[in-house]
Chains A and B, each alone.
Chain A
Amino acid sequence: MKNQGRTLLQKDGTKTVLASLLSIVIGLAVGSILVLVVGLFSDNLGMASAWEGIRLIFFGILSTGRNTSGSLTWGFNPQSIGNMLFRATPLILTGLSVSVAFKTGLFNIGAPGQYLMGTMVTLAIALGIPVSALPSPVIWLLAFLGGMLAGALWGCIPGLVKALLNINEVLACIMTNWIAANLVTWFFDANKMFQNTVENTKSSYVYKTAYGRTMVDGAWTYVDGSGVQTAKLGLDKIFPGSQVNAGILIAILIAVGVYILMTKTTLGYQLKACGSNRHAARYAGINDKRNIVLSMAIAGALSGAGASLYYLAGNTEFFWQTYQSLPAAGFNGIPVALLAANNPIGVIFTGCFMSMLNIVGLQLTNLTAYNEYITDVIISVIVYLSAFSLLIKMLLSSRKKGKPAQAAPDSPAEVKAVEEASAEKGGERA
């Protein structure tokens, strides 16, 4: 019996993976069709350039540019892969953030806001503490923890109003997102010392954390190279020319930690129980309100950590006049989590996939007349498809031979998948 259950679970797992892969393929196909259509109807883009665009969409990560005769060359590109790992870092963490909330039946669309608050506090700590006051690893750690804490507190707001007042967390998250965007702009507008005046080429940017706050001739100034940077741990030797650093390793460690938390601990069980059925969980003696707030706090902390790791790299700049837009890294956590079916280990891979698309977009911009926004179209198609991933799963299982077609949707595993896949209002509905 036990053995049977395990094979069923495995089958369900494979179906999930297949459904995700199908979404990815359809997403890439839609992107290719768009490139093809634009190529055919545009005067200055021809079939040849459309074909190049399509090849780049699928294999852009392996592109090494163009050779002297102007045709695309392919091969192992350490810079692209290193940058992919670097950009995957925040995506893995926001993906984890969204998936933890999903498991508790909450749709954390507030990841962008939590990410912004994490950014603000991280930068304020990393740039605010004079380099002479503390050793830089300590400043790094303080900034990282501060970012996590800020994200956690910001995530608590929708969690609290959901738990205590039963307000739809999606609406609360949207409101807190925009409040955060305005707060962050206000903060950096008011604290002029953080605004980058050394590199005058671009306006409205905050100093990179590589700049350290130092006293020079009795005045506080920022000196390049004296600030905090995430350690490279030799990764820059493996991927020369890229931005990669140890942040990706920290992200993977956190993902494993979240996996252990969700599957091996009482807290994780309680969180999932609240997600499956809030009222049943309360009946079983689980404090559902506490768990909802806790789930959002953990989600917020993960988003905040993503922001911290991204901006503590030392070579990333933050555009602070952000009150009209929200960071894409926050929103892209949603497809990362959906594609991974909310599995923390799966998030590592889907996060890398999303950042790969990002790199592909850059390659398209650099090498062809197309631009990077095509990858955002692909991502949105994938999100759209994952809204009815259950349907895709059902289609897949009805194709399986030797198994009655309508058995699958009624099996308990499938019903559980309904609850997880659809980020519905969780408790309210059940």
Chain B
Amino acid sequence: MTFLIQQTLLYAVPLMIVALAGVFAERSGIINLALEGIMIFGAFIGVLFVNMMQGFALFHDAFAAKSWLTLQGLELLAMLAAGVMGAVFSLLLSFASVNLKADQTIGGTALNLMAPALVLFLIRIIANQNTLGMAEGDAASWFMIKKSTFGIDRKTDLGFLGETFINKVYLATYVCILLFVVLSVLLYKTKFGLRLRSCGENPQAADSLGINVYKMRYAGTTISGALAGMGGFVYALTTANCASTGDVAGFGFLALAVMIFGNWKPLNIAGAALLFGLFKCIAASYASIDINGDGVCMLASAPISSHVYRMLPYIITLVVLAFTSKKSRAPKAEGIPYDKGQR
């Protein structure tokens, strides 16, 4: 059970945070199809940051001296860097769709094409291969929180909760969950959140009450970019051993599916992300040995192919779209450039 929960969380948390990124953009009235692209870019920036920082004596010595606090700080700094650069990258989308009133779908598609191209171009120049990893060591030895991190002997049993949530986990996972909660509160319980959401529903009415729609849409997309960039790095750190390959395996689009499945509401999104994370986990750990008696292997013996689990999130989303289309709660003004002169 421990294994299953941990693996599910690994997949679900990036999905959750990136889906929330989508919510921020769409609630402000901008369709952010570029989530995948921003994730790829954020993953690259985060990995590059870690790679470069490993060259400094401070972090090098910290690793040798097993000063875990410094290393966790490096992890947080890399997340921050990925978030900041993700936000900068998303400015391309906001500029096109807010200032130039361009088509948001095409703009997002352009960013989705640009990110992997740019990232792979730079990776090939920097690393002379198609993957950029850490300069030395791996994600598990540098950043993973283990029993030894707290000075506990490896053989001590921490009980179910301890084993699941303290042993062999990443700090990034918990930071993301915390951010998710804080930002959901921001979106629903503050003045700023209300104003942002009003711009996605009826920007004309919002403008008539003195809200600057352009600023709000910029804010929404920038927060979205920051979250997606951070999510991209967290994905690369926790599931790809802190390596960037110009690819996040369609996670950005899956996050879009999570957002629709969660009906643009944070609590539903958290649930949807856990469900889709479970599918991903089952599909990924399909062939692996039954290490902890979690029964993942029992699923393998069932006559269902792992391909089905990989496909399920997309099929479910399509079906959910079909059933909820009549009373879909998508923000009403999403995708429509705001024009002051329009009635």
Chain B binding surface SS class = helix
| B60: chain A residues within 8 A (beta carbon) | none
| A10: chain B residues within 8 A (beta carbon) | none
* In the assembled complex, B67 has its CB within 8 A of some CB on chain A: no
Q: In the complex, A331→B315 CA distance in Å?
A: 21
Q: Which of B103, B254, B336 contacts A387 (CB 8 A)?
A: B103
* In the assembled complex, A1 has its CB within 8 A of some CB on chain B: no
Q: Which of A167, A177, A326, A373 contacts B322 (CB 8 A)?
A: A167
Q: In the complex, A182→B314 CA distance in Å?
A: 10
Q: Mark A161-205, 1 if CB is under 8 A from B, else 0.
A: 100011100111011111101110110011000000000000000
| B101: chain A residues within 8 A (beta carbon) | 388
| B305: chain A residues within 8 A (beta carbon) | 186, 190
| B74: chain A residues within 8 A (beta carbon) | none
| A406: chain B residues within 8 A (beta carbon) | none
Chain A binding surface SS class = helix
Min C-beta distance of B247 to chain A, whole Å:
7
- Contact between B114 and A381 (Cβ–Cβ < 8 Å)? yes
Min C-beta distance of B255 to chain A, whole Å:
11
* In the assembled complex, B147 has its CB within 8 A of some CB on chain A: no
- Contact between B307 and A186 (Cβ–Cβ < 8 Å)? yes
**Taking CB as reference atom, which chain A residue is nearest B335?**
A425
* In the assembled complex, A380 has its CB within 8 A of some CB on chain B: yes
- Contact between A429 and B336 (Cβ–Cβ < 8 Å)? yes
**Taking CB as reference atom, which chain B residue is nearest A418?**
B103
Q: Which of A34, A179, A334, A386 contacts B315 (CB 8 A)?
A: A179
| B249: chain A residues within 8 A (beta carbon) | 324-325
| A326: chain B residues within 8 A (beta carbon) | 250
* In the assembled complex, A374 has its CB within 8 A of some CB on chain B: yes
Q: Give the number of residue pairs across the A-B interface with Cβ within 8 Å.
A: 151
* In the assembled complex, A377 has its CB within 8 A of some CB on chain B: yes
- Contact between A189 and B307 (Cβ–Cβ < 8 Å)? yes
| B156: chain A residues within 8 A (beta carbon) | none
| B311: chain A residues within 8 A (beta carbon) | 178-179, 182-183, 186
| B231: chain A residues within 8 A (beta carbon) | none
How many chain-A residues does the 8 Å CB contact rule pick out? 56
* In the assembled complex, A294 has its CB within 8 A of some CB on chain B: no
Q: In the complex, A355→B327 CA distance in Å?
A: 44
Min C-beta distance of A101 to chain B, whole Å:
12
- Contact between B121 and A380 (Cβ–Cβ < 8 Å)? no
Q: Which of A42, A174, A323, A331 contacts B113 (CB 8 A)?
A: A331
Q: Which of B68-103 contact A (CB under 8 A)?
A: 92, 96, 100-103
**Taking CB as reference atom, which chain A residue is nearest B121?**
A373
* In the assembled complex, A258 has its CB within 8 A of some CB on chain B: no
Q: In the complex, A167→B103 CA distance in Å?
A: 18
- Contact between B117 and A379 (Cβ–Cβ < 8 Å)? yes
Among B96, B107, B113, B247, find the residue whose CB has the most chain A CB atoms closer than 10 A.
B113
- Contact between B307 and A373 (Cβ–Cβ < 8 Å)? no
- The answer to whether A388 and B102 touch (CB under 8 A), given A167-B321, A167-B322, is yes
Among A45, A166, A376, A423, find the residue whose CB has the most chain B CB atoms closer than 10 A.
A376
Q: In the complex, A386→B33 CA distance in Å?
A: 16
Q: Which of B100, B317, B325 contacts A175 (CB 8 A)?
A: B317
Q: Which of A362-387 contact B (CB under 8 A)?
A: 369-371, 373-377, 379-381, 383-384, 386-387
**Across chains A and B, which 7 residue pairs bring their CB atoms closest together, nearest first?**
A376-B117, A380-B114, A384-B110, A388-B102, A186-B307, A380-B113, A373-B121
The 8 listed contacts between A and B (C-beta, < 8 Å) are A34-B121, A45-B125, A167-B325, A182-B314, A183-B311, A334-B109, A375-B117, A379-B113
Chain B residues with CB under 8 Å of chain A are 33, 92, 96, 100-103, 105-107, 109-111, 113-114, 116-118, 120-122, 124-125, 246-247, 249-250, 253-254, 256-257, 260, 305, 307, 310-311, 314-315, 317-318, 321-322, 325-326, 335-336
